[in-house]
Amino acid sequence: MSNHLLRSHAPISDSNWTLLDDEARQRLGVALAARKLVDFSGPHGWDHSATNLGRVRPVAATPCDGVTALQRRVLPLVEVRAEFAISRAELRDDDRGATDADLEPLDAAAHQIAVAENRAVFHGWPEASITGIAEASPHQGLQLGNHPSDYPRPVASAVEQLLRSGISGPYGLALGNEQYKRVVETAENGGYPLLEHLRKIVEGELIWAPGMDGAVVVSMRGGDFRFESGQDLSIGYLDHDADVVRLYLEQTFSFHVATPEAAVPLKA
């Protein structure tokens, strides 16, 4: 029995697979910021190819007179893959009981595929027909400011904009790498952590979003943003030689913004 991942063809022991899967799961769970904020649908399987948009476009010509035609519009899923190579010597050491196997190539691939997912969801991916949360939002123009102590004011303004638009909470605040680093390092006057202050303003999650530029305040009430997964993140096998096994992380997904006004981007 085998599927398209061809895992059973890899020269990898059960123990090795557990090691690799656990490591990938751990790394991805930290970095996949978009999934912490938006609705997740699926996984619908490797053979799921498109998201139904419920919309149509006119078809100009018909095969004969007396009929009209409309064509369904769908959002095709994109296949995203990050390849990596693992030393077979490291895997043999894992089988011997080593607890410090070098899995850096897997870690790097996990980070890259998480960044790709985050960027597609937050900033869009035109070549894959994906419009991002920040680009879709009609609320534009708010600046985070140069210093982290400036952040609470625009974040509070963003929450106010959402409320004025009739978008209820709870809200989540996703921060790009640099912005998140500044926030966790900063204590406001009196030593109160800025992280906690921002969390109180949004009354929800504060998320580290690697790959994101700036920040975005998002309603987490549900129904506004939909991430549709076909094949969820999986490790597959490519090939091997005497020294390394070449593997890949792969997933298929689409992303659709149903309520553009349910998010407010904050520029860095």
- Residues of this chain that interact with another protein (CB under 8 A) are 1-3, 5-8, 14, 17-18, 21, 24-25, 28-30, 32, 35-37, 39-40, 42-48, 205-208, 220, 229, 231-236
Nearer to another protein, 95 or 205 (CB): 205
Q: Least Å distance between CB 87 and another protein?
A: 20
Nearer to another protein, 25 or 55 (CB): 25
Instruction: Please state whether the peptide bond connecting residue 170 to the residue before it is cis, i.e. omega within 30 degrees of 0.
Output: yes
Q: Least Å distance between CB 222 and another protein?
A: 9
Q: Least Å distance between CB 117 and another protein?
A: 11
Q: Least Å distance between CB 70 and another protein?
A: 25
Nearer to another protein, 79 or 232 (CB): 232
Query: H/E/C letters for each residue in the chain?
Result: CCCCCCHHHCCCCHHHHHHHHHHHHHHHHHHCCHHHCCEEECCCCCCCCEEEEEEEEECCCCCCCCCCCEEEEEEECEEEEEEEEEEHHHHHHHHHCCCCCCCHHHHHHHHHHHHHHHHHHHHCEHHHCECCHHHHCCCCCCECCCCHHHCHHHHHHHHHHHHHCCCCCCEEEEECHHHHHHHHHCECCCCCEHHHHHHHHHCCCEEECCCCCCEEEEECCCCCEEEEECCCCEEEEEEECCCEEEEEEEEEEEEEECCHHHEEEEEC
Q: Least Å distance between CB 113 and another protein?
A: 11
Nearer to another protein, 113 or 264 (CB): 113
The distance of Cα 29 from the centroid of its chain, to the nearest Å, equals 10
Q: Least Å distance between CB 220 and another protein?
A: 7
Nearer to another protein, 158 or 206 (CB): 206
Nearer to another protein, 85 or 207 (CB): 207
